[in-house]
Structure 1
Amino acid sequence: MSLKRICAIDLGSDTIKVTDRNEKLYVCEKNMIAIRNKKDVIALGNPAWEIFEKAPTDVYAGCPVKDGALAEGRNQELILVYVLKKFSTFFTRHPNVYIAAPSDISQVERRAYYKIFGGGLGAKKIRFVEKAVADAAGIGMPMDDPMGRMVVNLGAAHTEIAVLSEGKVILNRVLPTGGKHLDDVIASMVRRQYQLHIGSRTAQLLKESLARMGEKPQGGMKVFGIHSVTGLPKEEEISALSVSVAIIENIDQLAEALQGTLERTPPQLLEDIRQTGIYLTGGVSMIPGLSLYLQKELDIPVYNVSEPTACAVRGLVRIMNDPKLRKSLSFSLREFAENTI
């Protein structure tokens, strides 16, 4: 396979990340579309995100991936065309595409993505890599080592816990909660405690700015919203403590899920994981103090990684540049699609 026209794509429910084999060109765009009157596309990617929650009633702005699953195939295709046009050399020459997607992607979704890439985008060859495997490769883990390792992707729409050995997923569990769910929890807390209605963008900002685990959080942030009683715009200062307390139940549920997965792990691999530790990727992993909190709960080392939101696309580059890894860790999306027919 020629490596001259290959691009790696991490299909996230929040963002799409694309790079070339040398990682010289890198694009990260919001996976979002804005449509007026249900037919006229007015913005894609980051510009659509700027419209989100600010648009008039005749404009829909949203993500084609709902709860971690592809729900709007045509809209997803339009966004991908927009993103790949930033890779014009690849796009006009029918690229070979490597895609990172969750391990639990359904056969229906595989067929839908094959139609998008093979039909609408004209990709020459489409290879699928499980996201947990791509994450492990991006972290720099040995991909031919039988030692057991655990990677936890704390994404926007869901959380994937994976146990790997020799570059393969041995055991995994997907939780239907992620960063967007935490945003909803924070927005609900602000509505209850501060009588203030805020949007998910503001809730996300509060999460990224104030949420922290461990020591008692200090400080706060002023935000605007609509007062529940008067219906008028109002500014309130939201404390870091209230934001952190709001998400603690979800973090504890994550710890319980990790413990449950460890209990299901084969003893030999479990002993390895106790030595090698658990690695966190994804945007939620950047909450200060999270790794240490989980480490105390599980009594196993828990590590943050460099650039946690770019692990998967970085791992794809490693896989597609290594003939041995290409053969053993990537799969034809066409074969998966044909199996559903």
Structure 2
Amino acid sequence: MTALRTDIGIDLGTATVLVYLKGKGIVLNEPSVVAIDYNTNKILAVGEEAKRMLGRTPGNIVAIRPMKDGVISDFDITERMLKYFFAKTVGKAIFKPRAIICVPSGITEVEKRAVLEASSHAGSRKTYLIEEPIASAIGAGIDITQPDGNMIVDIGGGTTDVAVISLGGIVVSKSIKVAGDECNEAIARYIRKKHNMMIGERTAENLKISIGTAYPKEKELYMEIRGRNLMTGLPKNIKISSSEMLEALEEPVYQIVETVHNVLEKTPPELAADIGNKGIFMTGGGALLQGLNKLIMDRTGIDTYVIEDPVSAVAIGTGRALDWIRFLDSDSIDSNSIRSHNS
């Protein structure tokens, strides 16, 4: 039997797009990358296939990441990417789907409108927005409706959102454009400066995932990488240690920890006491950086936990919020309003 209407939750991330289908859970997890032929303006690949093309395309083909710092940087490509993901997850539904999309807590009204319109143009009947810290908390299984303070540190690809949540709303929050991508860039800069070698984005990310750390390790780890020697222009192999990664990641990690500290300073005393008792919860792919929770714990004196599935938390929370879709009308747009506005 074909469903009359499908509701979907979308974690529209800078690095990855996750789609939650009501009744099925997460049905799509792919990089937010689009490969396009500039000569014909035709999309050649989306998602994982397009990511493999990053840094390896001829002149007429460009692999684009249309999301930057948690917001849309290329409206047309984002719209086409969403259209592809809608078709892949929903298929030929009788009615257009309703969608909830999560956005960073520091997003502007103009940036919100861009997300709403891109989703509507891509094929959603009606689109609603939910802030990432709220979605993360729901996805982590926290009951945000209670009058208790809960602190969420959501580290994505483009932004880090730190928020204190109580009674279903954000009491104090701060969003910074320092997250997974900035860590990758910091690693590439470090390798270029110290070893006089150029490496690509994917190599930097592999280093971060394999031996990256924000806290001194008891046992040194090593990884061999290949890049281009800036002096000779030829390929070169070098071995990188986890101690070097600690040094390379010092600046972005420090900014994240300082943001957590700043939000705690602005938190009302009663809620701060709740956080002291419960601890700080980390979500997002960036939460998997080894030792980051230990560093935050050292800096704040508060137990800091990485939730069980940090990468999927926002998407799961966005999907669960579908049950409350009728309460989210304050930030929504429907395809009919778009058509009437454009006509």
TM superposition shift of 1:328:
4.6
In 1, Cα distance between the equivalents of 2:177 and 2:331? 27
1:79 alignment counterpart: 81
TM-score w.r.t. length of structure 2: 0.91
User: Which amino acid is the alignment partner of residue 334 of structure 1?
Assistant: I
Query: Cα RMSD between the aligned structures?
Result: 2.1
Q: Secondary structure at the match of 2:164?
A: strand
* Percent of pairs with identical residues: 28
Residue from 264, 267, 286 that aligns with 2:266: 264
1:153 alignment counterpart: 154
1:240-251 equivalences under 5 Å are 240-251=242-253
Conservation of the 8 A alpha-carbon contact between 2:18 and 2:26:
no
After superposition, the C-alpha distances for 1:105-141 in whole angstroms (9 at most, x for unaligned) are 22222222222222331x2221211111111100111
In 2, Cα distance between the equivalents of 1:311 and 1:83? 19
In 2, Cα distance between the equivalents of 1:303 and 1:72? 35
TM-score w.r.t. length of structure 1: 0.91
TM superposition shift of 1:20:
1.1
After superposition, the C-alpha distances for 1:154-201 in whole angstroms (9 at most, x for unaligned) are 111111111100121111101111111111110111112222110111
Q: Secondary structure at the match of 2:333?
A: helix
In 1, Cα distance between the equivalents of 2:132 and 2:256? 19
2:100 alignment counterpart: 98
In 1, Cα distance between the equivalents of 2:24 and 2:282? 22
Conservation of the 8 A alpha-carbon contact between 1:210 and 1:244:
no
1:197 aligns with 2:198: yes
Bigger shift: 84-93 or 59-68?
A: 84-93
TM superposition shift of 1:215:
2.5
2:207 alignment counterpart: 206
In 2, Cα distance between the equivalents of 1:21 and 1:37? 36
Distance 1:250 1:151, change over 3 A: same
1:232 aligns with 2:234: yes
Q: Secondary structure at the match of 2:90?
A: helix
Distance 1:200 1:181, change over 3 A: same
In 2, Cα distance between the equivalents of 1:28 and 1:92? 24
1:183-194 equivalences under 5 Å are 183-194=184-195
Distance 1:15 1:91, change over 3 A: farther
1:120 aligns with 2:122: yes
1:139 aligns with 2:154: no
1:292 alignment counterpart: 294
Distance 1:24 1:280, change over 3 A: closer
In 2, Cα distance between the equivalents of 1:225 and 1:92? 50
User: Which amino acid is the alignment partner of residue 247 of structure 2?
Assistant: V
Conservation of the 8 A alpha-carbon contact between 1:214 and 1:293:
no
Distance 1:241 1:73, change over 3 A: same
Q: Secondary structure at the match of 1:205?
A: helix
User: Which consecutive aligned stretches of 4+ in structure 1 deviate over 3 angstroms post-superposition?
Assistant: 88-92, 325-332
User: Which amino acid is the alignment partner of residue 36 of structure 2?
Assistant: I
In 1, Cα distance between the equivalents of 2:14 and 2:148? 31
After superposition, the C-alpha distances for 1:306-329 in whole angstroms (9 at most, x for unaligned) are 1101111111222223xxx44556
Q: Number of paired residues? A: 332
In 1, Cα distance between the equivalents of 2:259 and 2:122? 39
In 2, Cα distance between the equivalents of 1:230 and 1:254? 37
TM superposition shift of 1:294:
1.2
Conservation of the 8 A alpha-carbon contact between 2:79 and 2:122:
yes
TM superposition shift of 1:92:
5.7
In 2, Cα distance between the equivalents of 1:299 and 1:3? 51
In 1, Cα distance between the equivalents of 2:65 and 2:282? 25
1:31-110 equivalences under 5 Å are 31-37=32-38, 39-89=41-91, 93-110=95-112
In 2, Cα distance between the equivalents of 1:32 and 1:5? 25
In 2, Cα distance between the equivalents of 1:119 and 1:299? 47
5+ residue gaps, structure 1, are: none
In 2, Cα distance between the equivalents of 1:277 and 1:84? 37
Conservation of the 8 A alpha-carbon contact between 2:27 and 2:89:
no
User: Which amino acid is the alignment partner of residue 147 of structure 2?
Assistant: P
Residue from 317, 323, 328 that aligns with 1:315: 317
Q: Secondary structure at the match of 1:51?
A: coil
Q: Secondary structure at the match of 1:82?
A: helix
Conservation of the 8 A alpha-carbon contact between 2:33 and 2:51:
yes
In 2, Cα distance between the equivalents of 1:116 and 1:15? 17
In 1, Cα distance between the equivalents of 2:200 and 2:72? 23
1:278 alignment counterpart: 280
